[in-house]
Structure 1
């Protein structure tokens, strides 16, 4: 079996409302699972640039990076007879502008949900862990 490495970046986009903190999550068109926006780093791109670009492309909004959500996530999976060693860098990002209705075709639905609800909704433990780290950071800075 062949193997390769992939590096991606993404973000937990948040906004404050009178009811509390909300974050953007998206449901993929293919797997129908709730996820956090992320994508592969383009050649010559820094991880921060990728995170901002992928958020804009996948969920239709502009956001600014507040801080990294370290450590990076690492996992291994198999696709088309290739073992993929994946690293994903996530950032806590504050909503700036745009409309989630302008999301990418890869996403079936994008919506703002309360942070605690997002932690319950996401499909993967790694995404849940990232959202929990985002919650801890937000509680520490606000």
Structure 2
């Protein structure tokens, strides 16, 4: 069985022109990114934008693809599932930041290097290259 999810690294510029990166805290207390499963009839891009809106309250615009993560996991009734997660760089264009409490513990904005530090300290290892890729697209040096 194959399962496709999509999400993104969301960014914005403050009124003062400062770049900020959005991170969520998932239900397990880990730093993560908004993402979720594709629904029937959706493109991966539509899935990414819908999931971002549902989990964070923000309407976004896709700027560029970042990368994909692929892995397998065992599902109790479906057996081995091939999971594919597509990530995009997404600019927040409207909405009010609000965590979907059924899915995640919190969501907030961070300066890019602070977001990178938080990802490395308490994020999922497979998201390191996604956050790094987003920062690279935004021309932020991580080293």
CA distance in structure 1 between the partners assigned to 2:70 and 2:111 by the alignment: 26
Superposed, 1:1-142 pairs within 5 Å as 4-17=1-14, 18=16, 20-29=18-27, 31-70=28-67, 72-80=68-76, 82-101=79-98, 103-122=100-119, 123-139=123-139
Aligned residues between the structures: 135
Distance 2:73 2:108 in 1: 28
Change (3 A) 1:32 1:102: closer
Using the size of structure 2 for normalisation, the TM-score is 0.84
- Separation in 2 of the partners of 1:102 and 1:128? 22
Q: Distance in 1 between matches of 2:76 and 2:32?
A: 22
- Report the Cα offset of residue 83 of structure 1: 2.7
Whole-angstrom distance in 2 between the partners of 1:20 and 1:133:
19
Residue pair 1:75, 1:86 contacting (<8 A) in 2 also: yes
Partners of 1:115 and 1:131 within 8 A in 2 = no
Q: Which consecutive residues of structure 1, in runs of 5 or more, have no partner in the other structure?
A: none
User: Runs in 1 of length 4+ with deviation above 4 angstroms?
Assistant: none
Moved more, 115-124 or 39-48: 115-124
The TM-score, its normalising length taken from structure 1, stands at 0.85
Structure 2 residue runs without a partner (length 5+): none
CA RMSD of aligned residues (A): 1.9
SS where residue 47 of structure 2 aligns? Answer: helix
